[in-house]
Amino acid sequence: MARKANQLTAVQVRNLTKAGKYEDGSGLRLVVSDHGARNWVLRASVDGRRREFGLGGYPDVSLEQARRKAEEKRVDLRSGSSPQTVKLSSGRAAVPIDRITFRMAFAQYYATKEKTLSNEKHREQWRSTMNTYVFPFIGDTAVQDVTGPDIRKLLLPIWNAKQETARRVLQRVKVVFAFTIFNGWRATANPCEGVKEAMHSEPRCVEHYRAMPYTNVPAFVRDLQELKSWPETKLAFEWLILTATRSGETRGARWDEIDEKRNTWVIPAERMKKRKKHIVPLCGRCLEILGSAKALQRRSVLIFPSQQGGVLSDMTLTKLLRDHGYAGVATAHGFRSSFRDWCAEVAKVDEDVAEAALAHEVKDKTKAAYKRAQFLEERRVLMQRWDDYLQAVEKISKPT
């Protein structure tokens, strides 16, 4: 079929990035949002009223597919059928498209998504995310009526306080809306587009973790060993300091993560902040801590179980600091900064080696490859030097 005058071409559609509405003819248009999202929309008259019908997003729906879907929609409208309703898998009666709520759309999307999730924990995370942070705000709002400010409003309470949670919420809501656009339930752009950038423009209150000066850390470690606290708590705290790891990584440490042949602790990707496996070379004192933990014979998969046998609470280490007079001086996370300062001022180690020890990203790709191949042995030397530094001290008095 010959192309009509002023119709779009596949090449044009592929290269259209400037925000605007690009007509293909007979009511079909490609709408490009300010943030680059491209969606097909059919404008047609229904009962004397001008309506818009979403036909899906580009490139998931090609130009040819959009034209075919547009023609099918026009045929439906001319035949007097009900193109504005859709039968959901829940078994209920067909729902008018303009009444499909976000809650309904999520149920439809999740019915397929659930099969791809690896375990019940992940499935529960998806459900609880929606029930806790999303449904109270937009659960009963029609998907075609949700706006960017609506998404911003639901994220505001957690954007600074729970940054990782907020990121996941935005990501999950965005894919649900992409699903609705693909199915033609929403004619306008994804309301999550540009929200992240808008949120980042908000003034943010950054919490700086209090860090003990590295010169005082050895004495603190000596005091720590003599405190009257739950044995695993003390061992966990010293392990955290020696390995320069985060609280959650230490508290969740498992026996099957220890490679006794190589004297390393292999933290799996799912337990790391950046979702990348992290290998920690174990110094002499860490090996002693493992021996002490084994001697306690708690019969747990965890190296440092709580008194109830589960993972130590995230407040356990904070409580230890508070109970022994260090609450205003340092936080558990702050000891990573203490280690980093020591690396720079005392060890004078290469910056990338120190960053690798903290599981931070190395931006340079060449150095990143080198990090994987060589940094482990350099870090093994570094962590033993840190151990030696922590052991060779005299006690100091507690802060007042």
Residues 322 and 270 in one domain: yes
Q: Let me know whether 366 and 266 are in one domain.
A: yes
Percentage above 90 pLDDT, the chain: 28
Distance in angstroms (rounded) separating the CA atoms of residues 96 and 74: 17
Specify the CATH number for the domain of residue 76.
Answer: 3.30.160.390
Domain with residue 151: its CATH number is 1.10.150.130
Q: In terms of domains, do 195 and 225 share one?
A: no
**Pair 143, 232 in one domain:** no
More confident of the two residues 84 and 201 = 84
Q: Are residues 177 and 131 in the same domain?
A: yes
Q: Give me the DSSP letters along 305-352.
A: B-TTSSBPPTTHHHHHHHHTT-TTT--TTHHHHHHHHHIIIII---HH
Average pLDDT over residues 354-362: 83
Average pLDDT over residues 371-387: 83
Q: Is residue 397 part of a domain?
A: no
Same structural domain, 237 and 366? yes
* pLDDT greater than 80 at residue 98: no
pLDDT of residue 35: 63
What whole-number distance in Å separates Cα of residue 219 and Cα of residue 313? 25
CA-CA distance, 154 to 166, in Å (whole number)?
Answer: 9
Mean pLDDT throughout 268-272? 88
CA dist 368 and 352 (Å) reads 9
4 lies in a domain? no
The number of distinct structural domains making up the chain is 3
More confident residue, 399 or 67: 67
Q: pLDDT digits over 189-225, tens only?
A: 899 988 888 776 544 443 456 788 999 999 989 888 8
What the block records as the tokens of 37 is 């999202």
Average pLDDT score over the chain: 83
Range of the domain at 46: 10-83
pTM of the model: 0.49
